[in-house]
Chains A and B, each alone.
Chain A
């Protein structure tokens, strides 16, 4: 056999193996992290997001008061040392309510998107993989769903199911599912054309294996990015639904319903409305910044 692998090369490899030892391997995930680290804004978004999640987790430790503790003598107070964000019309500490609100908004936002992607994404992947009739049937059903504006659909579902966190999650996930299935379908369709998929077929991989081991990992960048953006939209939808009274009911603090409650006193006590609004804005901004950075980081062509 031709001496392609010469002793000299072997020596170099051995040396390399010895010196490198447990040197960190360059995996696609690590490369992406390297690129993400270079993007300051994305890191800022990520840090804010982590802080928000920590806030939600340690809400009872962080909040100075109970979220439903009414101090009727201190109603509609402007921010002060005792109440950093002031109080609302029942004398409840807004800071505490905002902190506890993270426990509602974030899980509902994430959960509804996870469900929408799990169901819609699976359908989209199946449609893209099989093509032809299967694709047509699935996507036409999705089209029917999509012909109703998602917000209207969410309102209709939330109204018919009644209030409550679980119903809210259902309403949002069902109404956004068709859009998510389209995203996954498009991502899989793009990946499907690659030679390595044909190569996987040529080595005898089953359809399921091709889809799970070859197509999904390569499409995950697009899907993950749209995931973060979707969470931002879902949090806004939670807030909107709560604002019109279809989401979380009082006294449970939810940023959207706090906004809604605060609008009556907008003139006398604008802070009641400003702080929860600010929280929504910061969360959505952080998610968008992070999502943007993630998209760039996961695309190896944008070095």
Chain B
């Protein structure tokens, strides 16, 4: 069952300096119990996608220009600028947040209210959505704490009495307390050290399976993707460059950008002086080119790349790449626009 579906999402930030095109025509879908990794460098639009799903885009700057996001079949975005419409959407979103979709934030140190007992913070989510009595909610919160590996003895402790990894587990417990169908994790392990990272990832994977949650994992760590994701989308300048199962992306990466990303990874068996980098900078999303956004940095660029913008094309079942060169190769095969294939999946 598809738990989260994003269709042709376009998000702009309207600032005094100009319009920043943060997300351009992104389509994704995640089924229950599945994990999709969203990778990309800083500014690629990963967090904007997460915030749009939760309806937390900063207002009035952030605006959804077009597209749909379906959470359990319900559209959660409002493209209209009308106040009243936004307001009614807000009310609906408030019910969905926490109950149908949960979010894990990047920095556990600051994601918990410092003046509230951690147990109460978990109870609060349950009270907001769960239709449970106070004592039942407390019981459920304690269960959640045990589930993420923190003794319920510590229900009455304050966030400053926990370590970073434990705080992140509390945040996970909060996000999962009402058993949401969709869980969005925005770089959940970036602020943690490596051993704790592994623990937290394993925990998330475990809980995802237990609750059959669709997990959107936002990260810039390819190792994390390889570890727990089923599918992966490589984002660049607000567009999906390559999309497929983890096997597709890791065993058979095709897009020049994905290849460059893998090249930039340090290798364990080779001794190199300097790590490889991708030359140049990501194109300014206030001023995106009309041609391929990766053109300036691509080592395979040709005349055609500077003339038109390629579309996401399926090159093998379930594996999509947004590049002319690969589309060319596959010309006789499938060159149906990606969004259609995706939706028919």
Binding site for B on A (CB under 8 A): 1-2, 4-5, 9-10, 13-14, 16-17, 25-28, 132, 194-196, 198-206, 213-214, 217-218, 300
Give the residue of A13, A28, A205 whose beta carbon is less than 8 angstroms from that of B128.
A205
CB within 8 Å for A195 and B98 given contacts A2-B203, A28-B115, A214-B113: no
What CA separation (Å) do A104 and B153 show in the bound complex?
Answer: 50
A and B contact pairs by CB, cutoff 8 A, 28 listed? A2-B206, A4-B199, A5-B146, A13-B153, A14-B153, A28-B158, A132-B60, A194-B110, A195-B107, A195-B110, A196-B112, A196-B113, A199-B103, A199-B113, A201-B56, A202-B54, A202-B102, A202-B103, A203-B98, A203-B125, A204-B95, A204-B99, A204-B129, A213-B116, A213-B124, A214-B116, A217-B113, A218-B113
Chain A residues whose C-beta falls within 8 Å of the C-beta of B174 in the assembled complex: 199, 203
- Contact status A203-B124, CB under 8 Å: yes
What 1/0 flags go to B152-181 for Cβ under 8 Å of A? 011011101100000001010011000000
Chain B residues whose C-beta falls within 8 Å of the C-beta of A13 in the assembled complex: 151, 153-154
Within 8 A of A (CB), among B178-229: 199, 202-203, 206, 210
Chain B residue with the shortest CB-CB distance to A3 = B149
CB within 8 Å for A196 and B111 given contacts A26-B161, A202-B54, A202-B97: yes
Of A5, A25, A195, most buried by chain B (CB within 10 Å of CB) is A195
Closest CB in chain B relative to A11 CB, distance in Å: 10
- Contact status B115-A204, CB under 8 Å: no
CB within 8 Å for A203 and B102 given contacts A26-B161, A198-B56: yes
What CA separation (Å) do A1 and B146 show in the bound complex?
Answer: 12
B96 an interface residue at 8 Å Cβ cutoff?
yes
What 1/0 flags go to B92-125 for Cβ under 8 Å of A? 0111111100110101001111111000000011
A-B contact count (CB 8 A): 100
- Contact status A195-B105, CB under 8 Å: yes
Chain A residues whose C-beta falls within 8 Å of the C-beta of B114 in the assembled complex: 28, 196, 218, 300
What CA separation (Å) do A27 and B120 show in the bound complex?
Answer: 13
Closest CB in chain A relative to B291 CB, distance in Å: 36
Closest CB in chain A relative to B54 CB, distance in Å: 5
Closest CB in chain A relative to B218 CB, distance in Å: 14
Chain A residues whose C-beta falls within 8 Å of the C-beta of B56 in the assembled complex: 198, 201-202
What CA separation (Å) do A194 and B113 show in the bound complex?
Answer: 9
Chain A residues whose C-beta falls within 8 Å of the C-beta of B113 in the assembled complex: 196, 199-200, 213-214, 217-218
CB within 8 Å for A4 and B149 given contacts A198-B105, A203-B125: yes
What CA separation (Å) do A202 and B112 show in the bound complex?
Answer: 12
Q: Is the interface of A mostly helix, strand, loop or mixed?
A: helix
Give the residue of B93, B94, B153 whose beta carbon is less than 8 angstroms from that of A16.
B153
What CA separation (Å) do A9 and B125 show in the bound complex?
Answer: 27
Chain B residue with the shortest CB-CB distance to A193 = B110
B286 an interface residue at 8 Å Cβ cutoff?
no
Chain A residue with the shortest CB-CB distance to B93 = A204
B341 an interface residue at 8 Å Cβ cutoff?
no
- Contact status A2-B202, CB under 8 Å: yes
Give the residue of B150, B157, B175, B206 whose beta carbon is less than 8 angstroms from that of A1.
B206
Closest CB in chain A relative to B333 CB, distance in Å: 42
What 1/0 flags go to B297-311 for Cβ under 8 Å of A? 000000000000000
What CA separation (Å) do A303 and B132 show in the bound complex?
Answer: 40
Chain B residues whose C-beta falls within 8 Å of the C-beta of A26 in the assembled complex: 157-158, 161
What CA separation (Å) do A119 and B323 show in the bound complex?
Answer: 61
Chain A residues whose C-beta falls within 8 Å of the C-beta of B112 in the assembled complex: 196, 199
The 4 closest A-B pairs by CB, nearest first: A4-B149, A204-B98, A204-B97, A203-B98
